[in-house]
Structure 1
């Protein structure tokens, strides 16, 4: 440890002062001593401990709260690398964080010593310090890049990101594949199982020290904003120190609010409030004070709307308490934009005249690259006005340029309130004095769920700026039904578990096979953190199975029968029950198959009558079933409504009774066009009425339950003939048999779990290799020529892209069509509109759409057969915007007819460029395709997209954004 300072040693005896002086002199000669002497502040104990372990040659895992100063450990690793003449790589999960860290390191070490590598940027890649996204390092490892030579240290920032289900596996790949000589510095938020993660690092990386600190340099105070009043979440001691008990005032408020919304004697919620109170004898009271059981008096309770707080009221309350600047987390992009608008409409203005001038100067300088028409399309003037008055939104759909402006102004203290989605909590460094959480429920894409303690910790971790604030503040806004105890539970549990999301992909598997062979690849996968966690869980399951087996033996003894084998009798009885249920389900199953067949037979233009559960009436088909195993048919009803029907919504098979010819391109999102479709439908049927439903069943389905019924009778006969059937204690024995059967089923499930968790990752890898063998990418465990191409294609649809490449689809496509095809292959929609297949902008893309669908259908069928995760179906929602863009249209015109935000379009455009880059990297096998892909990328990479792909350095003007080197490695 660092010796005590001289100020602390003045009272020591001379001998001890001399020893301490010698110790300081020795410490000053160490690299840690030299490093700490340059700092403007003394190092914290956890920083010193981690640095000492690094200097001794150990890898380190540092888990500490946001803002605790973990990056000091990373900076010391860089110091060690420079002093040893080695390289240091600094990896981050996202490009924005890489860009920010690059700028910070350039300010410290100068541009000549620092490089940057992301998927679209390569700057000084041979530097001694290189900042990069983790995907880039993973790709370097697979490619045996020469850049790995003389690499001494790898800093993995935000390593808890490996729990991310989409990209977390990359962290584990890197940790597993890094050369043994490289020291890993893993920086994580405080996680509850840091020791477990450290134990895995110790297994795969060698000696690893785990340093955990739960101390926040800036204390965090918890509050709830109720109406205009800010309440402490926890009660205080006499010395104003928070306890672990919930503030009793909040508890009383919550109870009062709960009673106010309870139905009372009048059957209406809230009528116990003002002017609707009743006495015990039933008479109504006006706004008079009532006595409670203790004889005290209180005025009638305020209506619950008085407890809620609007966004402008929230800003006023925080400003009054001196708690600005703040970040308010709203789990909705539209909510963030609406919040800014509400504050502006309320006349709020948080900036001084000089601050306004600084803001406008920064905004106008940064936005000088925007064309005038782009400014109008992006509502630049509204964005600018909000910034001028101290307000901004920040979310993934925001234009990257706008996000950069917000981040820069907020860091300078010029923006006072930012309304943000939770993506900000995982992004760049933007601390505030206060963090506000508007609601404790969020939509996860499927349903609304309560936020977890880990998410609460991550969000509130932004509160409190080190070196600026003496304390940070977390504020939860009051909502109807809010439970202060639940909020306290979230705030008290300040850690969350780190669980692996690792699973082999096609690209990963073929790279491992090519580099290491099948057996060694399996061993590598078995060393993943995912398998490490699975193996640890097996220990507890095995102990549970042993306990259950002992209980089963006792049950068997209790159900013994003197007339025969009661175990056999109980089995027959159980089989009979199952057979009877199966017979009753048989007819429903056949009926469901008939409904599925009828939906698959429907074509666009068919006119049908939908009675079933939804009673949509006469409707016309506008989109065919798509997936035969889960058909979902799009229809327009007689009222001009766009609906989707599936097997779950029909009681019987459905057949068309008429038809109408519809245009090839149906603009079903337009209400006016849907009315036209309904009109065409009625014109086709005239006065013809749909047939009476019932009895419609496609040919080929016949109900045959003779086998099921025969099996039931056979089991009944066996049961009655069994000796135990006549036992007078039969039902008592059966009680124990029922317990035995239930416990046997639970035990078998646990045994299956043990078997399933043993070598899980390796067995998935085997299934992938077998499927790749079937498709010709692997032969006798050797990677074939198509497999070599797959090694360089990354993404969620990597194998599908490779299949299309091998099919020859891209051989003659023009650059414009290649851009459209890449858009089809990268885009994922959050909306449930995948059944709609719009006409494509070119004939080549129209043909490509059919070919892509055919290959995807074959691939997903093979994946289901192999028990693998199914590749998502390609979605055409990005094709038209990208094709319009590459044709030179402006941003607003490119997005016509879509609900896509400008920031989302640019994010997807980057992914299109990434895929085109990957295909262009195959120039050795497909030189002409590589040339056309590079041209397609150039067409996409223009205007605001090109600017958003650049990084801004402190000494660079915005006019230099086109001067960017390309990097073949993907991000």
Structure 2
């Protein structure tokens, strides 16, 4: 695949950003000189011969659109590509001005009487873009699923899902389209929805041209190569990592009073300032941590709502230094609201601004009923907004979110608390961005923010043409390594990797379309393209690993391998026995203060050991406690399945790392160290003594702790094995325990008799063998990846899914789509198989419309509620039928070799809002529903809107198979839920 690469130099122009510039900030400081540039690259399909003619627009040709400002180099380059009728991918930072390229593509299409499609990932962004484009060009329509305006317009703004659906249905619009703009195309890496972008791009008309707008991605060239290959046309890449407004990055340490500049405008990391910031950290007290209930790292944020909170001090400092407007990012909806309430005594607006806010607010709210105007979310928000403080998250009423966006754009909100979603798409920059946490919960664990996430959110800082620099502030409440901070603040953007996966809806639609087939979709997917691309690098890795492995010569290798395997078996059995004996079920009754406990040394876990004995030491048990999981529904777990930690008095070596952070390591009793009480996971326990020592309750004095450990040492010197508790006395009745003990005894005999056991340098030889085994395992793993890459991706899964469809009657043995399949083709916003089975079983026909929509709410509700209202008896019966259907379908998939966890699939249908949706369909007021549910208003509205989307798909499905009775029922259901505040029109329309 050919490639042309060109870098922009600096061009002289009186006001162009293409030259070196010196700007002064508001406080008179001189900003660094910076050459602004971009890289222009082109991907050609195989066999394509590029033209040698100029890529510049002829001077006598008038541009399709002229702009009232000098274009940046990347904008000019991209527009030249459009003028030459060739596709382009524009990769640039948030707020860099990518929309200029989209505007030009639309203007050019309208000038040439061509149809142009603009797609975006979210409805809110589509609404905003419709408003923006409508002001610029009159011939603009909108299609989002919620709203359709002028669907015959030459320029259509829509969500990517709508565009995918139009392509599958063979819409006339698809055949007419000349240009397709994919905004926020980096969304293609989204785990759930990313596949929609791949389908849409692969299926796009071959004579169409593309504009891809993306945040900075390091593999933009790879993406363009794929587009060029699939559509057999050149695809240009115009890439710039230039920020029109340079950024400064600061740390605000918990409990501190000042800011520490850690990355300057030049991108230089200031390690001395970073260490000063961490040294200024005031550790969060234990009592504050307990208030947090272990749900998230909010140490520096929680506490009394007063002027002493860190967030109040920081916002006050930002306002005093005129760093506003500021966006404060938080990773939870409730935390956003909690932090905003800490600003209760702060007033950032004058009387005129307050008056303007009130006028704008009530003008927007006038479309609501009097009852809805009294909703707590509405009435509580206005006083906050009047003081110049706002909140923005997905749990807000959509109309409230939009009015807050408008107020922020008008400069009437000086301080906005928002979740991560505010960083996507919406063009609303601020002078300052604050991160309230440097860690986030990703569904499994707390982790550091990735550099890609940081780049996306920090991109909101700095308003072009207004601010000389943008400011990013991280609130830090724990120590972090400089390498971690550098990776976060200066790391690369996330790569654009495929999130392609098969779905039954995709498969059925591919089989139904005459000019499509599933194998072709898989062959042309970005996933397959990336897998093919990776093979040469994988081959190099295999070669290097094999050379290292084969260079290792080990004496008596076969005998050593046998001995090595015995060690692994022995350790595995010991762990199995330990897991049974010291499981909470058996050992909790013996967790008494004063009991000697043998615990594994931490180093034993980190490096391989080839002794059959554990590296362990002794301590005295003081107390134990349950470790609460970060997962919200942890309370539902059984006590015997929970995790526990022990508070143990033992000998510890205390040191400090390079950052001054205290490091505590458990050491053997005879080694130097301090007597400390440390928390040890129950999984580290290797033995519990049957004895108990008389230990004083007050262990605060050092002398008391030393005396306690002296008693322990004397006990261990007298009883070397610590007089362990006899498992028989613990009443362990497990058969697996008895079997493991017998196998362990047999292995011990083999160890004693093994020929190599007394060989010299046995430990070193085993370490070498262990390394060789690791290399062999790596080679095996990489070769497996290569084998799966050389065959068609998902080939086995495709066969398995077809077996499921045949078994359930969706397709014939010749892959012809049957009635059930036609219904499932129409359902893309819910689980297509389960919903189709319910429809054909008569469940949806036999119930009232209100009960039906209540049941369908289980398909669209994804949040997990701890104390959701239990559905009434008749609804619970319906939910049981849904679960039975889902379990039957999951088992059928399992039998057909589709990888699926049956119980996880069944539990994905949640009854949490069945009562709320039933009440809404029965005509209850929205405020009445909010009194019976804990759900955020915006979350419920989003669910009901998605429910209406599912019903519209079911109407089409019923129509496609001539089921007029069901079609009427679905239409009746739509009429019952589509009303009032839930479907209030967008302010952008």
Q: Structure 2 CA distance, aligned partners of 1:6 and 1:257?
A: 48
Post-superposition Cα deviations, 1:791-837, rounded to whole Å, max 9, x if no partner, equal 1111352222122222221122211111111112221233467xx8x
CA distance in 2, matches of 1:475, 1:211: 30
Shift of 1:373: 2.9
**3-state DSSP class of the match of 2:324?**
coil
1:914 is the counterpart of 2:912: no
Alignment of 1:319-334 (within 5 A): 319-334=319-334
* Matching residue of 2:881: 851
1:185 corresponds in structure 2 to 211
Deviations for 1:166-208, whole angstroms, at most 9, x for unmatched residues? 2111111111110111111000011122222222222223311
Say whether residues 1:804 and 2:838 are aligned partners: yes
The whole-number CA distance in structure 2 between the counterparts of 1:384 and 1:854 is 47
Indicate whether 1:147 and 2:184 are aligned.
no
Matched, 1:252 2:276: yes
For residues 731 and 231 of structure 1, what CA distance do their matches in structure 2 show?
49
Matched residue, 2:980: 943
Aligned to 1:547: 544
* Contact in 1 for aligned 2:95/2:427 (Cα 8 Å): no
| Counterpart residue number, 2:21 | none
Please state whether the residue corresponding to 2:268 is helix, strand or coil.
strand
Q: Which residue of 1 aligns with 2:224?
A: 198
Inter-partner Cα distance in structure 1 for 2:643 and 2:430: 54
**What is the Cα deviation at residue 534 of structure 1?**
2.6
- Quote the offset at 1:2 in angstroms: 14
Secondary structure of 1:244's counterpart equals coil
Distance 1:481 1:735 in 2: 34
Q: Can you give the 5+ residue segments of structure 2 that lack an aligned partner in the other structure? A: 1-7, 17-53, 287-305, 592-633, 645-727
- The answer to whether the 8 Å contact 1:246/1:485 transfers is no
The verdict on how the C-alpha distance between 1:26 and 1:908 changes in structure 2, with shifts beyond 3 A counting, is closer
- Alpha-carbon distance, 1:721 to partner: 11
Q: Deviations over 1:498-553 (max 9, x none)?
A: 222111112112222333699x4223213222222233333322222223333444
Corresponding residue for residue 387 of structure 2: 389
Q: Is the 8 A contact 2:74 2:239 kept in 1?
A: yes
Aligned CA-pair RMSD: 4.1
1:52 to 80, 84, 96: 80
1:237-248 pair list within 5 angstroms: 242=266, 244-246=268-270, 248=272
- Change in 2 beyond 3 A, CA 1:384/1:582: closer
Separation (CA, whole Å) in 1 of partners of 2:278 and 2:758: 62
Within a 5 Å distance, the mapping from 1:411-810 to structure 2 comes to 411-481=409-479, 486-493=484-491, 495-515=493-513, 520-555=517-552, 558-559=554-555, 567=558, 573=563, 643-645=636-638, 648-649=641-642, 739-758=771-790, 759-780=792-813, 781-795=815-829, 797-810=831-844
Per-residue CA distance 1:870-892 (angstroms, 9 max, x = gap):
43531100100000111111223
| In 2: Cα distance, 1:558 partner to 1:802 partner | 62
Match of 2:104 among 39, 56, 76: 76
Deviation string 1:393-412 (CA, Å, 9 cap, x unpaired) is 00010110100110111111
**How do 1:69-218 residues align onto structure 2 when only pairs under 5 Å count?**
69-110=97-138, 113-205=139-231, 206-218=233-245
CA distance in structure 2 between the aligned counterparts of 1:487 and 1:737, rounded to whole angstroms: 37
Question: Hey, what does 2:679 align to over in structure 1?
Answer: none
Given that 1:114 and 1:131 are in contact with CA atoms closer than 8 Å, whether structure 2 keeps it comes out as yes
Give the 3 Å change call, closer, same or farther, for CA 497–484 of structure 1 in structure 2.
Answer: same
Q: Does 1:35 align with 2:64?
A: yes
TM-score by length of 2: 0.72
The structure whose residues are more often helix, as a share, is 1
Report the Cα distance in structure 1 between the residues aligned to 2:487 and 2:11, rounded to whole angstroms. 39
The number of aligned residues is 789
2:960 matched residue in structure 1: 924
1:823 & 1:124 partners in 2: Cα distance?
30
Q: How far did residue 329 of structure 1 move? A: 0.8
Distance change (3 Å), C-alpha of 1:126 and 1:730: same
Question: d(CA) in 2 for partners of 1:589 and 1:523?
Answer: 50
CA spacing shift, 1:214–1:897, aligned 2, 3 Å = same
Deviates more, 1:526-535 or 1:93-102: 526-535
The Cα of 1:580 is off from its aligned counterpart by 5.9
Measured against aligned partners, the alpha-carbon deviations of 1:722-746 in whole angstroms (never above 9, x if no partner) come to 9x99999999987765554443233
- 3-state SS in 2 of match to 1:229: coil
Structure 1 pair 766/320, CA: closer, same or farther in 2 (3 Å)? same
The 2-side partners of 1:438 and 1:448 are apart by: 14
Q: Secondary structure at the match of 2:823?
A: helix
SS at match of 2:513: helix
Residue matched to 1:678 = none
Q: 1:642 to 1:56 in 2, by over 3 A?
A: closer
Deviation, structure 1 residue 365 = 1.1
Partner of 2:365 in structure 1?
Answer: 367
User: Quick one: distance in 1 between partners of 2:643 and 2:129?
Assistant: 56
Partners of 1:134 and 1:422 lie apart in 2 by: 21
Q: Distance in 2 between matches of 1:735 and 1:482?
A: 33
User: Which structure exhibits the higher relative contact order, with contacts defined as CA atoms closer than 8 Å and separated by 6 or more residues?
Assistant: 1
Shift of 1:650: 11
For the 8 Å contact 2:119–2:157, the answer to whether it is kept is yes
Q: Once the 2 structures are TM-superposed, how far is the Cα of residue 64 of structure 1 from its aligned partner?
A: 0.6
Distance 1:919 1:647, change over 3 A: farther
2-structure distance, mates of 1:460, 1:423: 13
Identify which range, 766-775 or 756-765, moves more after superposition.
756-765
* Most deviating of 322-331 and 533-542: 533-542
Q: Report the secondary structure of 1:340's partner residue.
A: helix
Name the SS for the 2:394 alignment partner.
coil
- 2:262 matched to which residue of 1? 233
Hey, what does 1:662 align to over in structure 2?
none
Correspondence for 2:310:
310
Q: Residue 421 of structure 1: CA displacement?
A: 0.7
Query: Cα deviations across residues 630-689 of structure 1 (Å, max 9, x unaligned)?
Result: xxxxxxxxxxx97531763599xxxxxxxxxxxxxxxxxxxxxxxxxxxxxxxxxxxxxx
3-state SS in 1 of match to 2:102: helix
CA distance in 2, matches of 1:489, 1:711: 47
Summarize the Cα distance change of 1:215–1:887 in structure 2 as closer, same or farther, 3 Å threshold: same
Partners of 2:967 and 2:826 in 1: how far apart?
Answer: 13
**1:243 Cα shift?**
6.0
Distance 1:230 1:737 in 2: 52
Q: Equivalents in 2 of 1:931, 1:708: separation in Å?
A: 68
How far apart are the structure 2 equivalents of 1:720 and 1:250?
58
